[in-house]
A and B are shown apart, each in its own frame.
Chain A
Amino acid sequence: MQRVVITGYGIYSCIGKNNEEVIDSLYHGRSGIIYDPARKEFGYRSALTGYVDPPYLKELLDRRARLMLPEQGEYAYMSTIEALKNAGLTQDYIDEHEVGIIFGNDSSATPTIVATDIIREKKSTVFAGSGSVFQSLNSTVTMNLATIFRLKGINFTVSAACASGSQSIGLGYQYIRTGLQDCIICGGAQETGIFSMGSFDAISAFSIRENEPTKASRPFDRDRDGLVPSGGGATVILESLESALKRGAHIYGEVIGYGFSSNGGHISNPTVDGPARSILRSIKDANIDINEIDYINAHATSTPVGDASEAQAIYSVFGESKALVSSTKSMTGHECWMAGASEIIYSLLMMKEDFVAPNINFENPDEYSSKLNIADKKINKKIDVFLSNSFGFGGTNSTLIIRKYTG
């Protein structure tokens, strides 16, 4: 079995457009949530969203490449160029080696709806244009990035709802671990456009604390009332240890555990047992003692039921172990398909800078969160090992464990 390490990462999110900006936001507990009046006008129950600044790509990509990229593809492109640079992977290197891509993405609603509206109005499909089909497919991110960066390795998209980004890293880990690939660009991407989240809003999943946008996402807090949708792009470069050492690459961390499970229950209601099994599987895979885990980046999205279930699942595994817990969704909102990847990056940044980012807005615990060691403010702390949870609709669960690389 190969050891699997992380040699680069890049992020484009509502709390920063690169690693440096994001470190600053995490450190200072800065929220990226806004009130978007257009959502209200459109018929949303909640106008809250993470705001992601659209990147300017005209000087970076030619017309053809830009035409093919939907919103979340643009974010993923930005996070990927940062990750590749961070990893020291040049286009020359990529051209000469088999580099793969596995990304998490579970929708591309905006281009689909825009094209349908045009076809309906014009009564001609051609008016959808040449880019529409490539923007609309669920695999839009991987098909675009594989083309732009001329990748020759594994190439597919993982759709696992809000666990997509985490599962992409888990699968990349498996491909490298078993020797099938040496280097894979993994990550997650999430659209934020007004067309993308209406059906999610329809089931009353979103917070309606509209008078205080930056306080709306409050995972584990007693008075939480729902999640805040958000998005962006997050890219992690996974590589075999052998390949990383051969290149002389800097190693930011090692993936030592991947756990997964399916609840086998309701389509949207979570369970305690499903996430607990995912956590336990990851710990078994990592072959570590639970006391070695310094920090848990919780999935906790700020929904009443979801956070309570996760708190119980964490407690059932960790008991009195005092690993610090926080949900960075308190600042970012729920980055959905991207979250499992972005939260690995947020945690890697904390590991690099020796602090645990605060679970902002955690003012009063509830019955279950009171049993956890939740970081309600920034805590300076050396992190050697962290665990990151991601759970999705349909009961899909994924857990990753990363250890600081020490040789």
Chain B
Amino acid sequence: MTNEEIINKINHFFVEEFEAEESSLIPTEDMRKTLDLDSLDFVDLVVVVESNFGFKVNTEDFQNIISFQDFYNYVIENYTQQEAVKPS
């Protein structure tokens, strides 16, 4: 999966699962504020990330994520690491 495909997939579940307006998904914007996320939403975020990208997520990982771009970077980094150690 390319970085662009990862971002598209994330945006897709923000729209589908979190009922976000597609136009609100601006990389530099504050993700929590834009999506109005509370602590319970982060549980659902863990579920969709693990289900879609296959790596293990700890809710503490989200503490330093502010913008959508931070979130994209977090998923890309973890997904890439996971793929790198997979036997070819």
How many A residues are at the interface, by size bracket? under 10
Is B41 engaged at the interface, CB distance under 8 Å to the other chain?
yes
Chain B residue nearest in CB terms to A124: B50
B22-50 interface code vs A (CB 8 A; 1 in, 0 out): 00000000000000001011011011001
- Flag if B47 contacts A129 (CB, 8 Å): yes
Select which of A62, A124, A127, A130 is within 8 A of B40 by beta carbon: A130
B4 within 8 A of A: no
**Residues on the A chain within 8 Å of B50, using CB:** 124, 126-127
Task: Give the docked Cα–Cα distance between A129 and B47 (Å).
Answer: 7
Q: Is B71 part of the contact surface with A, judged by Cβ < 8 Å? A: no
Closest A residue to B57 by beta carbon equals: A126
Nearest chain B CB to A64's CB is how many angstroms away? 7
CB atoms of A63 and B18 under 8 A apart: yes
Contact yes or no, A130 B43, CB < 8 A: yes
* A126 pairs with B19, CB closer than 8 A: no
Chain B hits for A127, CB < 8 A:
47, 50-51
Residues of B within 8 Å of A130, CB to CB, are 40-41, 43-44
A64–B39 alpha-carbon span in the complex (Å): 12
One of B19, B43, B51 near A63 (C-beta < 8 A): B19
Q: Determine whether the beta carbon of A126 is less than 8 Å from that of B18.
A: no
The distance from the CB of A56 to the nearest CB of chain B, in whole angstroms, is: 15
- Counting contact residues on chain B (CB < 8 A from A), the size range is 10 to 19
Shortest beta-carbon distance from B55 to chain A in Å: 13
Question: Shortest Cβ distance from A114 into chain B, in angstroms?
Answer: 14
| B39 vs chain A, min Cβ distance (A) | 9
| Residues from chain A with Cβ under 8 Å of B46 in the complex | 126
CB neighbours (8 Å) of B19 from chain A are 62-63
Q: Is the pair B40, A126 in contact by a Cβ cutoff of 8 Å?
A: no
The A/B interface has a contact count, at CB < 8 Å, of 22
A123 to chain B, nearest CB (A): 12
| B22 CB, min distance to chain A CBs, angstroms | 16
In the bound complex, what is the Cα–Cα distance between A166 and B46 (angstroms)?
42
Residues of chain B within 8 A of A129, CB atoms compared: 43-44, 47
Chain A at the B interface: SS class: helix
Alpha-carbon distance A62/B19, docked complex (angstroms) = 9
Chain A residues whose C-beta falls within 8 Å of the C-beta of B38 in the assembled complex: 64
A64, B40: Cβ atoms closer than 8 Å: yes
User: Which of A62, A67, A126 is packed against the most chain B CB atoms within 10 Å?
Assistant: A126
List the A residue with the shortest CB-CB distance to B36.
A64
Nearest Cβ on chain A to B50's Cβ, whole angstroms: 8
- Scan residues 15-64 of chain A and give those whose CB is less than 8 A from a CB of chain B: 62-64
Interface centre among B41, B43, B50 (most CB of A within 10 A): B43
Nearest residue in A to B56 (C-beta to C-beta)? Answer: A124
Contacts of B18 in A (CB 8 A): 63
CA distance A97 to B6 in the complex (A): 49
Instruction: Name the interface residues of A100-134: CB closer than 8 Å to any CB of B.
Output: 124, 126-127, 129-130
A63–B48 Cα distance when bound, in Å, is 15
A350 to B50, CA, bound (A): 54
What's the nearest-Cβ distance from chain B to residue A148, in Å?
Answer: 15
B51 / chain A contacts, CB cutoff of 8 Å: 127
Which of chain A's residues 346-366 have a Cβ closer than 8 Å to chain B?
none
Query: Which residues of B have CB within 8 Å of A63?
Result: 18-19
Within 8 A of B (CB), among A127-175: 127, 129-130
Interface string of B47-68 (1 = CB under 8 A from A): 1001100000000000000000
> Nearest Cβ distance between residue A119 and chain B, in whole angstroms?
12
The residues in A between 231 and 282 inclusive whose CB is less than 8 angstroms from any CB of B are none
Residues on A with beta carbons closer than 8 Å to the beta carbon of B44:
67, 129-130
Measured in the bound complex, the distance between the Cα atoms of B18 and A314 in whole Å is 54
CB-CB nearest in chain A for B42: A130
Q: How far is the CB of A74 from chain B (nearest CB, A)?
A: 18
Chain A residue at minimum C-beta to C-beta distance from B43: A130
Min CB distance, B78 to chain A, in Å? 16
The CA of A203 and the CA of B18, in the complex, are separated in Å by 42
CB-CB nearest in chain B for A125: B43
Name the residue on A nearest B59 (C-beta). A126
Q: How far in angstroms is the closest Cβ of chain A from B43?
A: 4
A sample of 15 inter-chain contacts (CB < 8 A) reads A62-B19, A63-B18, A64-B38, A64-B40, A124-B50, A126-B47, A126-B50, A127-B50, A127-B51, A129-B43, A129-B44, A129-B47, A130-B40, A130-B41, A130-B43
**Top 8 A-B pairs ranked by shortest CB distance?**
A130-B40, A130-B43, A63-B19, A130-B44, A126-B46, A127-B47, A129-B47, A129-B44
Further 4 A-B residue pairs, CB within 8 A, beyond A63-B19, A126-B47, A130-B44 = A64-B38, A64-B41, A67-B44, A127-B47
